[in-house]
Amino acid sequence: MNYHIFIDESGNTGHNLFDKNQPYFWVSAIMVKENCMESVKNDIALLKSSLNTNELHGNELGLRFINQASGELINIFKQLNAKFLFVRINKPHIATMKFVDCLIDSENNPAIPPLYYYSKSTRYMLAQPIAALFNEDSQKEFWNIYKRNDTQAFKTFLCEFKVAVNSYIPDPRLREILNDAVEFAINHPTDILDVSYDNYESPNLVSMSLLLQGVKDILPNKYCKISKIIHDEQNQFAKYLKEMFNMLRGISIKYKLVGNPDVTVDDVITGEIEFEESTNSDGLQLIDVAMWILKQEVDKKKKIESEAGLLLEFIKKNGFISQFSFETLTYEAHRAYENLMSQPFTEDQLELAKERVKQLESQRKHNLSSS
């Protein structure tokens, strides 16, 4: 079975992560069976006619007209057997997580063992307390340092961050790891800040990686393919979105609680990514409306009632939302900790683990001393 994906965005502010009016970037997708959009073409045309519009666009229709159209939209979605995927990016959190990644990437910082960085659980448990030390001012300060690739300013920032680590991190082992990581970064700022700011750091590109893995995960079974991806017309980032799509389309990553992730090559996405104007695509218009009404509840905290409320509940029941934020990181870190602590380890396993920790620590200290 082949599927088509239609993708729309909202909240695009380019490289500006700190627009107070639009702190969130959304990318949303509707997944339908190949060529089934043709079966609802007349229904969509009649709906547009009843609303006296040439295009279904959430922001232009508003809640009153969406409420009026909700019953027919639900019927259309049911005919399509539509599935939805939403990715919500807290833009300032990108700056925080870029610092986290610079600091704890074991490829560049020998203070961090690879097991700590590549294991999902330990990475979350390292990242969360680092992120908790950031506020809006530190996010902006680091982001400007990163964009300029200013290693001298980075050293100053790291010295201030080290003070925060020693003031606010209560766990002595975590303090030791982070102090070693920060000290190495202060002495080797070029190695740690070994990146050049570019278009791949925009929320548009960050969200693409989450979306591509997400649409693979919601396919009904392993034999399904994605034969076409239609993205709303994109002038600023189209080139980079296409490049990232081509890099990631054939890769699937499955993270483990402990250990390196399983990275596999697949052929799930057989089609290319195409860019179209929403005026020419019913699929893009449908996902625009679905995303708009979900944003009213999630971002604007509106209570959606009546027929529009039924539409929203249908979308949530048949959809998935992935969030990139400090709150989500905190949730995942706590869940990882609880999962680890709830494992029924035997005494023999615990003894082996303690021995392994000693080996890792010996290797970590050796790596630091020889760097």
pLDDT value at 75 more than 60: yes
For residue 96, what is the DSSP state? H
Of residues 23 and 257, more confidence is placed in 23
Lowest mean pLDDT segment, chosen from 121-125, 235-239, 270-274, 300-304: 235-239
Mean pLDDT of 118-130: 93
Residue 252 and residue 242 in contact, taking contact as beta carbons nearer than 8 Å: no
Residue 125 and residue 258 in contact, taking contact as beta carbons nearer than 8 Å: no
Of residues 260 and 162, more confidence is placed in 162
In this predicted structure, what is the pLDDT of residue 31? 97
Q: What is the largest CA-CA distance in the chain?
A: 73
Residue 248 to residue 207: CA distance in whole angstroms: 12
- In order of their start, the domains of the chain are 2-90+200-326 (3.30.420.10), 93-118+125-198+327-369 (no CATH)
Helix (H, G, I), strand (E, B) or coil at 118: helix
Residue 281 and residue 57 in contact, taking contact as beta carbons nearer than 8 Å: no
List, for residues 55-73, the tens digit of each pLDDT value: 999 999 999 999 999 999 9
Mean pLDDT of 107-135: 94
- Please provide the average confidence, as pLDDT, over all residues in the chain: 93
In this predicted structure, what is the pLDDT of residue 195? 65
Q: Taking the model in full, what pTM does it have?
A: 0.92
Residue 303 to residue 333: CA distance in whole angstroms: 30
Structure tokens at 323: 């969030």
Residue 160 and residue 133 in contact, taking contact as beta carbons nearer than 8 Å: no
Percent of the chain with pLDDT over 70: 98
For residue 272, what is the DSSP state? P
Mean pLDDT of 122-133: 96
Closest CA to 138 of 185, 91, 99: 99
- The model's confidence at residue 252, banded by pLDDT at 50, 70 and 90, is confident
List, for residues 192-246, the tens digit of each pLDDT value: 987 655 667 788 888 888 898 898 888 988 899 999 999 998 777 888 889 889 9
Structure tokens at 6: 């239609």
Mean pLDDT of 331-346: 92
In this predicted structure, what is the pLDDT of residue 197? 55
In this predicted structure, what is the pLDDT of residue 309? 97
For residue 260, what is the DSSP state? P
pLDDT value at 258 more than 80: no
In this predicted structure, what is the pLDDT of residue 198? 66
